[in-house]
Amino acid sequence: MSLPPVVVIGAGLVGASIGCALTAAGYPVHLRDAKISHARVAASLGAGTVDPPVTADVDLVVAAVPPVALPDVIAHALHSYPQATVTDVGSVKAAVLDTLWRRELDLGRYVGSHPMAGSQYSGPMTARADLFVDRSWVITPHRRSRPESVARVSELVRTCHAREIVMDVEDHDAAVARVSHLPHLMSVLMAGHLNQVPENHLLLAGQGLRDVTRIAGSDPGLWVQIVAANSAAVLPELRSIQARLAEVIMAIESRSAADTLREQLQRGVEGTRRIPGKHGTAPVAYSQVVIEIPDTPGALGRLFADVGKAGINVEDISIEHDQARQVGYLSLAVTPEQEPELITTMTDRGWTVV
Amino acid sequence: MSLPPVVVIGAGLVGASIGCALTAAGYPVHLRDAKISHARVAASLGAGTVDPPVTADVDLVVAAVPPVALPDVIAHALHSYPQATVTDVGSVKAAVLDTLWRRELDLGRYVGSHPMAGSQYSGPMTARADLFVDRSWVITPHRRSRPESVARVSELVRTCHAREIVMDVEDHDAAVARVSHLPHLMSVLMAGHLNQVPENHLLLAGQGLRDVTRIAGSDPGLWVQIVAANSAAVLPELRSIQARLAEVIMAIESRSAADTLREQLQRGVEGTRRIPGKHGTAPVAYSQVVIEIPDTPGALGRLFADVGKAGINVEDISIEHDQARQVGYLSLAVTPEQEPELITTMTDRGWTVV
């Protein structure tokens, strides 16, 4: 039995990658783009065909166009493909839905969604079927969404091997304000500040500055649409940062910086530990394996040789001393998965694991 | 002729890596650390020996200890090694120098320096001789530094294959406030904010958030020393960010966000373009190679196949159409080094490069 055709409107990175994933799963995919050449690039990469579908057969339309174009494209798709569930991949949901409500459309077949993948390069050239594998993909049903349409979008998420998260639109928009739009604006503020920095000072820039400012290099035309569309959710986050920043500045001005700084820096460390791992796993908390070592030069060399032979990747190290017993305690930080192997290996080689 | 001995005080990542580079170049290196085991770890990695030197022979001492310990260690080294040039690798220079001046020491043999390398892991375990290769290394002579001592530190920089930059201490401290301490605090503010974000919202976190917050995971104990020591230089940078942030917030509040946002986002893009490349080279500005293509489906497929065969890494792509002539213009962004090869390859294969 052949699978029903899908229409992907917008052959940028996200649209073309969805096309690749659906094509790989056996769906006939029909690509459309305001620039036919973009659709052709995507087609040449295996994302589908540029031939038009039989409209009555289409059972899913994916709108993967810039935020400002979404309401028109969604409304048009609902009209043009009367049997199809229509979804979009926009990064802000409430503003689009509000616009659609105001047009008094029957939105039963519309279910918004948002795959958490993509990059600053927005063209189809880097499209690939596995772009969404193990990534979060939010589905945002509204009060009139039909259950079968929600199920159809769920199936899309599964076909792309992404992880489905169901949220209402307001919750989604608050979440992306916090984990995406605010970090973007922080990166932009920092990068924008570099325009005031003399060139010879920039020679001292290291990887840290590059990391903090990387996303600020993204397309301003797209981001002004995103942030403006979600400004209501972004505003309280910015005000919260503003309050913390004022605290830091006041602490430095009053020369009582150390305690406030320490508290903020500690909060920062705790915040980084809350971010889930790359594939939605728990944040990496390294396991500490503590090994007793005689306090002699040769001992450490032998120990590291044994760790090295075991092929274990040591992330950090610290040493404590027991002056009375003339031994040391070497603490090795390794990923939790490597912990049992390290303990076994070192015990087998005659070391005492504490 | 044997090279004169060097003493490295502090066998963390930076000290141990300097030891490795000096040892590789033939210098006898003597490692010292408040924790002898740290020195032994460094020694086991080829950074030198833990045996004491003949003090009168020592001609260079490198203080690679945490900021708060620097004045005492430098003062002690000037006293203990009467023939030696003494340098440090601290990330803030004026505060240490001021403290030393107040002690009324003869500072002729002291010349501060600051290699722009290291990582959030501060132990010796990841030390390597090539840590500083092609990295900037600032030398900050003061008004009493002897020329021969400045020359000795220059030689250290050359031995580590780093790029020497000479600055006065105030200029250095302003530079690191801008390219290191401010980005660190921005990262900390963002990461600290995550403590207020519900866990299910964090499931939507992507690489952007990880990049922006990565350095906030660094040791707060070290960073409170660094920022507190350089607070005078950091303060005006924070105030400048505060002013920009207030502008963004006011623009969103007054619902005139789009123009202000666009301006800030554009400033951000321009700022990222000012950061030099990894090895001090110019920022990466991709070259655009424009190729004429017949407006037929097969043409694009063939073109990409040819680009692929050439082994060229295409960073971005855009297509423009000439409706009248039924041709398109495909613009490929590649690194400037790959540009001539791409042009030659495509011309050889029969394409018209515009």
Tens digit of pLDDT for each residue in A312-339? 766 666 666 554 556 677 777 777 788 8
User: Do B93 and B151 fall within a single domain?
Assistant: yes
**Which domain CATH number covers B15?**
3.40.50.720
State how far residue A240 is from chain B, nearest Cα, in angstroms.
8
- Final residue of a domain: which of B117, B141, B167? B167
User: Phi first, then psi: what are they for A76, rounded to 5°?
Assistant: -65, -40
Q: What is the per-residue pLDDT across A193-215, written as a single tens digit (0 to 9) for each?
A: 999 899 899 989 888 898 899 88
Q: What is the per-residue pLDDT across B238-292, written as a single tens digit (0 to 9) for each?
A: 999 999 999 999 888 886 667 888 888 888 888 888 777 544 444 455 677 888 8
User: Do B233 and B211 fall within a single domain?
Assistant: yes
User: Do B182 and B159 fall within a single domain?
Assistant: no
d(CA A145, CA A149): 7
> Which of A188, A197, A273 is nearest residue B178 as measured by Cβ atoms?
A197
ipTM (interface pTM):
0.77
Residue A272 covered by a domain:
no
**Which domain CATH number covers A245?**
1.10.3660.10
- Asked if A271's CB is within 8 angstroms of B202's CB, the reply is no
pLDDT level of residue A296 (50, 70, 90 thresholds): low
Smallest CA-to-CA distance from B50 within A297, A293, A319 is with: A297
Residue A262 covered by a domain:
no
- Asked if A240's CB is within 8 angstroms of B212's CB, the reply is no
- Which chain A positions have a beta carbon within 8 Å of B276's beta carbon? 202-203, 205
Q: What is the DSSP letter of A180?
A: I
Residue A121 covered by a domain:
yes
Handedness of CA A46, A52, A56, A60 (dihedral sign): positive
Q: pLDDT value at position A274?
A: 76
- Asked if A216's CB is within 8 angstroms of B271's CB, the reply is yes
Q: What is the DSSP letter of A5?
A: P
User: Do B13 and B162 fall within a single domain?
Assistant: yes
Residue B68 covered by a domain:
yes
- Final residue of a domain: which of B121, B142, B167? B167
User: Do A179 and A56 fall within a single domain?
Assistant: no
User: Do A113 and A69 fall within a single domain?
Assistant: yes
Q: pLDDT value at position A278?
A: 44
User: Do B17 and B160 fall within a single domain?
Assistant: yes
User: Do B85 and B129 fall within a single domain?
Assistant: yes
Q: Which residues touch A317 (CB under 8 Å, ≥6 apart)?
A: A330, A331, A332, A333, B41, B123, B124, B125
User: Do A29 and A58 fall within a single domain?
Assistant: yes
User: Do A107 and A151 fall within a single domain?
Assistant: yes
pLDDT level of residue A281 (50, 70, 90 thresholds): very low
- Final residue of a domain: which of A147, A167, A187? A167
Nearest Cα residue in chain B from A177: B201
- Asked if A212's CB is within 8 angstroms of B211's CB, the reply is yes
User: Do A186 and A247 fall within a single domain?
Assistant: yes
Residue A276 covered by a domain:
no
Residue B71 covered by a domain:
yes
Sheet with B136-140, edge to edge strand ranges? B112-115, B136-140, B163-166
Look at residue A351 and tell me whether its pLDDT is greater than 80. Answer: yes
Residue A279 covered by a domain:
no
Residue B90 covered by a domain:
yes
User: Phi first, then psi: what are they for A255, rounded to 5°?
Assistant: 60, 25
Smallest CA-to-CA distance from B202 within A278, A142, A221 is with: A278
Domain that holds residue A44: 6-167
Sheet with A136-140, edge to edge strand ranges? A112-115, A136-140, A163-166
Q: pLDDT value at position B96?
A: 95
Smallest CA-to-CA distance from B156 within B121, B125, B112, B118 is with: B112
Q: What is the DSSP letter of B222?
A: H
Q: Domain count of chain A?
A: 3
- Residue A24's Cα: distance from chain center in Å? 23
User: Do A227 and A299 fall within a single domain?
Assistant: no
- Number of CB pairs, chain A paired with chain B, less than 8 A apart: 384
- Asked if A179's CB is within 8 angstroms of B202's CB, the reply is yes
Task: Average the pLDDT over B201-220 and give the result.
Answer: 87
State how far residue B153 is from chain A, nearest Cα, in angstroms.
18
